[in-house]
Amino acid sequence: MPSPLVADRNSVYANDHPDSIARIKAKLIEAARVYRKDKETLDWLVMQDVHDPRAFTIVERFENESVRLPLIVTPPCSKADHDWRP
**Residue 50 host element (H or E):** none
User: Residues 39-59: pLDDT tens digits?
Assistant: 888 888 999 999 999 999 998
Domain locations along the chain: 6-73
Domain 6-73 annotated CATH 3.30.70.141 = no
Residue pair 7/67 in contact (Cβ under 8 Å)? The answer is no
pTM recorded for the entire structure: 0.69
Asked if residue 86 has pLDDT above 50, the reply is: no
HSE (side-chain half, CA atoms, 13 Å) at 21? 10
> What whole-number distance in Å separates Cα of residue 52 and Cα of residue 35?
25
Q: Which residue has the higher pLDDT, 14 or 82?
A: 14
Residue 56 buriedness (CB in 10 A; 0-12 / 13-18 / 19+): buried
Separation of alpha carbons 74 and 86, rounded Å: 13
- Quote the percentage of the chain above a pLDDT of 90: 24
| pLDDT > 60? residue 76 | no
Average pLDDT of the chain, as a whole number: 76
